[in-house]
Chains A and B, each alone.
Chain A
Amino acid sequence: MMTNNVIVIGGGTAGMEVAGQLARQGCRVTLVEKNQETGGNVNNWHHLFPDRRAGKEVIQYLRSQIDHTAITLITGNTISGLRHDNGSFLINTSGGDTIAADAVVVATGFDLFRSERKEEYGYHIYDNVITSADLEEMFREGEVRLTNGNIPQTIGIVHCVGSRDEKAGNLYCSKLCCITAVKQAIEITEYIKDARVYCFYMDMRMGGAMYEEIYREAQEKYGVNFIRGKVSEVSETIDHKLLLKAEDTLAGRPVKLKVDMIVLMAGMEMSEGGIEVSEMAGLNRGANRFFAPADNHFGSNLSNRKGIFYAGSCTAPMNITETISHARAAAAEVIDYLKEKI
């Protein structure tokens, strides 16, 4: 008989999708999530690129995926121990449970870069310097306002905050912030009539499905301004506005711009929870701190330990489409492994 107990660590997009897929394939799944509710980072996003589907819709889909009698959901718990014992895994939760499993799927996702680490951009120092996640919160509340209650007229968007930046310790591109900037720039002009929006970018990385078309639309239909130069610093002016400094590299001259609000495109980092799991289980990580898959082409769901699998953005920055595909592939790998195990 096939032994088929699987534990999934992380109840975000990847974890919920893989749990649902495994349950439908006949596995008994325990899904452990550190927060009180499932959904992970998607909970913080009001609307999603490329089609501006409501984040809530994705959460609803994922919750329907895990609505299965073979899935036991444990929320508000982290993993405190993971050991291999005689062909099976024994996992301790912070709540004191010990769960035995034949296979483990790590789906610990990402943390958003803490933008206060780029002190020169003034997050948590100046009013009205916010992050992409903070802006989503404003969108959800239905209005974009400054701390004094006024509506911003000029908004600067700073790309690559904590990405492609040796000073932040992150050499990699987070891949999703460019398209997030374009999406949010468009949305700002919809929330605020006649708003002037300026994106400061190094490269526009429009590599996903529909990204380039949205970029074009932002220029053509919404009049968003794109300036090629990384913002070097932000300061506050005497009239409590914010001053952006960059080089307009295409014009070849320094550029400054006074704005009411600055939105920082925070990058993605390996989650702290993922780092804990990697240390507990002896899992390899890359120089970018994300989990290093056993093979970049043929084994992106495989770890360096037999029976432990990866799903989603714990291995690299991924959008939701990619995360769901990766999670489905992880489920297929787990099923193969369990079949061979008997």
Chain B
Amino acid sequence: MDKFGFTLSKARVIDLDSNDRSIAEYILRNEPSFRLCIECGCCASTCTAGAYTPFSLRELQILLKRGENEKVRTNIGKCMLCGKCSLVCPRGVNTRNIIELAKKAFKNQETHAI
């Protein structure tokens, strides 16, 4: 059977019932401005890392909020903490702290400390 040529596709739907929101909740507890993003994209527009690699803080934030953590886990390290995103953010989101907290949350999760 395993050479039959068919595989099961994983559903593409963002499953809000089963997704893991623990990383987002950890950030929210420690940095309430995480709530304020309106997806304008200014952070990603001005980001040096985003100019050359597929890194968008706007996208990573919404993925965390939806519990789609894997892409964030593998990309969060690209941020160089220059802080330009916080200069342009029209909502005053503390972007740098969000990056730091996300990294910490992922690390805690690996060590089961979250």
* Chain A interface residues toward B at CB < 8 A: 120, 160, 164-168, 202-203, 228-233, 245-249, 252-255
CB of A45, distance to nearest CB on chain B (Å): 26
Known: A164-B38, A254-B51. A247 touches B88 (CB 8 A): no
Q: Digitize B50-79: 1 where CB-to-A-CB distance is under 8 Å, 0 elsewhere.
A: 110000101100000000000000000000
Q: What would 18 A/B residue contacts be, using CB atoms closer than 8 Å?
A: A165-B90, A167-B89, A167-B92, A203-B38, A228-B41, A229-B41, A229-B42, A231-B45, A232-B46, A233-B46, A233-B88, A246-B45, A247-B50, A249-B39, A249-B40, A253-B56, A254-B44, A254-B56
* Chain B interface residues toward A at CB < 8 A: 38-47, 50-51, 56, 58-59, 88-92
| B50 proximity list for chain A (CB < 8 A) | 247, 254
> A-B pairs with the 4 shortest C-beta distances?
A247-B41, A230-B40, A232-B45, A247-B44
CB-based contact B58/A247 at 8 Å: yes
Closest B residue to A233 using CB positions = B46
In the complex, A165 Cα to B42 Cα: how many Å?
Answer: 12
In the complex, A18 Cα to B88 Cα: how many Å?
Answer: 42
CB of B77, distance to nearest CB on chain A (Å): 19
In the complex, A253 Cα to B58 Cα: how many Å?
Answer: 10
Q: Report which of B41, B45, B92 forms a contact with A166, defined as CB distance below 8 A.
A: B92
Closest B residue to A202 using CB positions = B40
Closest B residue to A255 using CB positions = B45
| A202 proximity list for chain B (CB < 8 A) | 38-40
Q: Report which of B46, B90, B92 forms a contact with A245, defined as CB distance below 8 A.
A: B46
Chain A contact residues, majority secondary structure? mixed
Which among B41, B50, B89 has the greatest number of chain A C-beta atoms within 10 A?
Answer: B41
CB of B66, distance to nearest CB on chain A (Å): 14
In the complex, A39 Cα to B88 Cα: how many Å?
Answer: 36
CB of B112, distance to nearest CB on chain A (Å): 33
| A229 proximity list for chain B (CB < 8 A) | 40-42, 45
CB-based contact B38/A252 at 8 Å: no
CB-based contact B41/A120 at 8 Å: no
| B38 proximity list for chain A (CB < 8 A) | 164, 202-203
In the complex, A231 Cα to B44 Cα: how many Å?
Answer: 11
In the complex, A246 Cα to B90 Cα: how many Å?
Answer: 13
Closest B residue to A228 using CB positions = B41
Which among A167, A231, A254 has the greatest number of chain B C-beta atoms within 10 A?
Answer: A254
CB of A248, distance to nearest CB on chain B (Å): 8
CB of B86, distance to nearest CB on chain A (Å): 10
CB of B38, distance to nearest CB on chain A (Å): 6
In addition to A231-B45, A249-B58, 20 A-B residue pairs with Cβ atoms within 8 Å of each other are A166-B92, A167-B88, A203-B38, A229-B42, A230-B42, A231-B42, A232-B41, A232-B45, A232-B46, A233-B46, A245-B45, A245-B46, A246-B42, A246-B45, A247-B41, A247-B43, A249-B41, A253-B56, A254-B51, A255-B45
